Amino acid sequence: MENNVPVFDFTPESIRALGGSVVNDFEEGVKGLIGIPKENRSFENTMLAFERAASDFGEAVSIPIAMAYVSDNAEVRKAAQELELRISQYAVDIFTRGDIFKALNEYAAKGEKLGEVESRLLAKTLLDFKKNGLGLEPRKQKKVKKILKELIGLELLFSKNLREVNDSLAVSLDELKGLPEDFIGRLKKTQEGKYLVTMNYPDYLPFMDNAESDAARKRLEAMFNNRCAAENMKLMENAIALRRKISKLIGYPNFADYTLDDRMAKNSANVIDFLERTWAKLKKKGRKELRHRAKLKNRRTGGADKTLNAWEWRYYNNQLKKEKYALDHEKIKEYFPLETVIKGMFEIFGVVLGIKFVPADLPVWHKDVRAYSVLNADGSAAAYFYFDLFPRDGKYKHAACFGLRHGREAADGTYILPAAAIVANFPGASGDAPSLMRFDDLVTLFHEFGHVTHNILTTAKYAKFSGTSVSRDFVEVPSKMLENWAYYSSVLKLVSGHYKRPDEKLPDGLIKKLIDTKNMDSGLVYLRQIFFSLLDLKYHMAKGKVDTTKLYEKLMKKISLIPMSAGTHPQAGFGHLMGGYEAGYYSYLWSELIAADLFSVFEEKGVMNAETGARYRDLILAPGRSYDEAGQVEKFLGRPVAEAAFLKSIGAA
């Protein structure tokens, strides 16, 4: 099979037609393997035949489904959403098929000697069927299948509701005091002359960080944390109840243990132990940070309040950075024009990983999207890569890496090139200023680019193990890994240049302050991560009905030290718990621990060291899930993973 360039010219009609054709193609692909006599079964005619049929099926729908999140055509988005629901539910049909499961089991029972990767493919595929109820008596099997399909509908509706939020807060010019001119300049205005601040991150976060008006921040935070509240709270609570039923039917104590059975962490006890251990190390630091911010608030307001409210903590955190370190992120962003950052990022990771990004005239899904061919050091093609960086109506609201196509070996022995995109919502140009990135935006870009490297540098033979198709608690390792580069002077010089004076790099004094302030709020930041992780586990370990608001309120105050605002329902916007991280939010911290240990090798050898980069590419990125993740980490480190580098990196050693 030749490496066809991905295409995106889907119409609502072509997407709707695809729903039926891919199902027919899959059925054709598996028809042959089902009727083979068990004595004639082989890896090729049974396991590999199923894997290829499943891979072809996944590839055929991957890009059309992505259009639900990125197309500017509402009808295309609608058709793609319908396709995603249909295909996700049909995937449940596939992994609850007794005839396919029987065929795979018959082959497994032969006990043929297989290579490490092939043996792993068979074991992981069988486990997928078992976790979908295969092996249970028929009545329970049917129940599991019905619940899994129902769950998919709830999860996709939750996500759709958040994508379609278009609420905005009307504020006066006076209430915009503290915000920079370029921010104010790009806001839409009402007929009455008020300015509209949307719920999109390029509006929400700068406003919460900088707006001097306490009342305006309070109103915006209340609006943001009540997005889709009435509908999404119900969807989440119904999903949690259904997940609990699935775990009981299949024989797990709770949904967390059902989920973790195939993760690095293995079970909920290990995760809770990890989270509580980290929590204990950060409590003191977090409380101290809170006192400093409360003291600043009281000095400015004349109060004596020890509490920082949800609409205050980001603002006073930012004010403390300005006061203690003379660090003004609105000024710093002038040194990070988007184009300069991208050019520098390509240069840095091109050297480290031995690749080159070449702008290419390839098909795209929107005029703002830019496309690249990714080349290996010898000039051979490695992958395709895309940027879709600015907000627009109906588009995905966060920043994410979209794996558009898995790299894998085709039936004729050629390699199908992977494709991936960064879909983000960075601020656009405003007035005479181009798109400027806040330092947090730069870290986010590096994070998502880490996922991209995992996707595009895969050499996995099978799509099931390709790129980011690893254990959920390993998937964030490459993304957390690349964030570390953002805190190195040599790197910040390469990605900076004042937008008016491009040769003027970010000054050494500001670089030192950025690095010095990395952990000035790490106590509060990581307590918040621990709060989200424990909340997720508690939701999914509960024995009965969960009051998601009450539990959120209790744990937020206890762990993050910031109380939940009365009348808000932040869980209604917690998309991760309805989009792949349910009982898995801890993965960010778990992965960060591993990434910090891996990065310690780069610190020792040099952050631009190509030899270390080649080992990292070969041992961590290229295999995907072809081998045990912990084993690959141990090969790279020369020892098992340890916590010391992580605790040092967050200032909690």
Confidence of residue 2 (pLDDT cuts 50, 70, 90): very low
- Number of other CB atoms surrounding residue 649 within 10 Å: 23
Instruction: Read off the tokens for 236.
Output: 């989440």
Rounded mean pLDDT, 65-74: 97
Which class in CATH covers the domain with range 229-327+522-585?
mainly alpha
Strands (E), 49-198: 168-171, 188-189, 195-198
Residues whose CB is less than 8 angstroms from the CB of residue 549 and which lie 6 or more positions away in sequence, other chains included: 233, 569, 571
Give the pLDDT band (50/70/90) at residue 626: very high
* Residues with Cβ within 8 Å of residue 393, at least 6 apart in sequence: 72, 166
482: pLDDT strictly greater than 50: yes
For residues 250 and 219, the answer to whether their CB atoms sit within 8 Å is no
pLDDT at 326: 87
What mean pLDDT do residues 87-98 have? 96
pLDDT of residue 3: 55
Distance of CA 477 to the CA centre of its chain: 11
Neighbours of 653 (CB within 10 A): 11
Q: How far apart are CA 175 and CA 579, in angstroms?
A: 35
Report the percentage of the chain scoring pLDDT > 90.
96
What mean pLDDT is predicted for residues 95-119? 97
Half-sphere exposure for 471 (CA within 13 Å, toward CB): 23
User: What is the rounded distance in angstroms from the CA atom of residue 14 to the CA atom of residue 608?
Assistant: 46
- Cross-strand partners of 363: none
**Token pair listed for 57:** 């099926």
Q: Quick one: fold of 334-357+427-516+588-649?
A: Neurolysin; domain 3 (1.10.1370)
pLDDT at 325: 85
Give the model's confidence band at 4: pLDDT under 50 very low, under 70 low, under 90 confident, else very high.
Answer: confident
Instruction: Please check the confidence at residue 362 and state whether its pLDDT lies above 90.
Output: yes
Is residue 117 classed exposed, middle or buried when 0-12, 13-18 and 19+ CB atoms within 10 A define those classes?
A: middle
The C-alpha atoms of residue 140 and residue 155 are separated, in whole angstroms, by: 22
Q: What is the pLDDT of residue 1?
A: 35
Cβ atoms of residues 414 and 400 within 8 Å: no
Catalytic residues, by residue number, are 448
* Residue whose pair of structure tokens reads 């995905």 in the numeric block: 396
Cα–Cα distance, 567 to 357 (Å, whole number): 48
Residue type, 594: I
- Main-chain phi, psi angles of 197, to 5 degrees: -100, 120
Reduced to 3 states (helix: H, G, I; strand: E, B; else coil), residue 530 is helix
Rounded average pLDDT over 446-462? 98
Q: Rounded mean pLDDT of the chain?
A: 96
Compute the residue count for the chain.
Answer: 653
- Biggest alpha carbon distance in the chain? 83
**Helix (H, G, I), strand (E, B), or coil: what is residue 350?**
helix
Domain with CATH 1.10.1370.10 in the chain: 229-327+522-585
Q: Which pLDDT tens digit goes with each residue over 155-194?
A: 999 999 998 999 999 999 999 999 999 999 999 999 999 9
| Ranges assigned E (strand) in 185-230 | 188-189, 195-198
Query: How wide is the angle at C-alpha 406 spanned by C-alphas 400 and 411, nearest 5°?
Result: 175
Mean pLDDT for the stretch of residues 536-554: 97
Neighbouring C-beta atoms of residue 142, cutoff 10 Å:
13
Which residues does 24 contact at the CB level (< 8 Å), separation at least 6? none
For 527, the token pair is 């307590």
pLDDT by residue (tens digit) across 140-152?
999 999 999 999 9
**Beta carbons of 619 and 477 less than 8 angstroms apart:** no
Q: What distances in angstroms separate CA 575 from CA 198, 244, 398, 444, 578, one per listed residue?
A: 18, 19, 10, 17, 5
Question: What's the pLDDT score for residue 490?
Answer: 96
Domain ranges in the chain with CATH number 1.10.1370.40: 334-357+427-516+588-649
Element (H, E) at 630: helix 629-637
DSSP 394-408: TS-SS-EEEEEE--E
For the chain, residues classed under CATH 1.20.1050.40 are: 12-95+97-131
| Angle at alpha carbon of residue 647, lines to 646 and 652, rounded to 5° | 150
Q: Which residues contact 483 (CB under 8 A, 6 or more apart)?
A: 443, 446, 447, 450, 595
CB atoms within 10 A of CB 323: 12
For the record, the structure tokens of 451 come out as: 């996922």
How many C-beta atoms surround the C-beta of residue 476 within 10 A? 25
Per-residue pLDDT, averaged over 93-117, amounts to 97
CB atoms within 10 A of CB 231: 12
Asked if the model's pLDDT at residue 202 lies above 60, the reply is yes
Q: Which H or E element spans position 381?
A: strand 381-388
In this predicted model, what pLDDT tens digit does every residue of 465-476 receive, in sequence order? 999 999 999 999
d(CA 131, CA 319): 49
Residues 12-95+97-131: name the CATH superfamily.
Endopeptidase. Chain P; domain 1 (1.20.1050.40)
Residue 463 sits at φ, ψ, to 5 deg, of: -60, -30
Enter the pTM of the model: 0.93
Q: Name the pLDDT band for 579 (thresholds 50, 70, 90).
A: confident
Could you give the C-alpha distances from 362 to 64, 70, 189, 374, in angstroms and in order?
17, 17, 37, 12
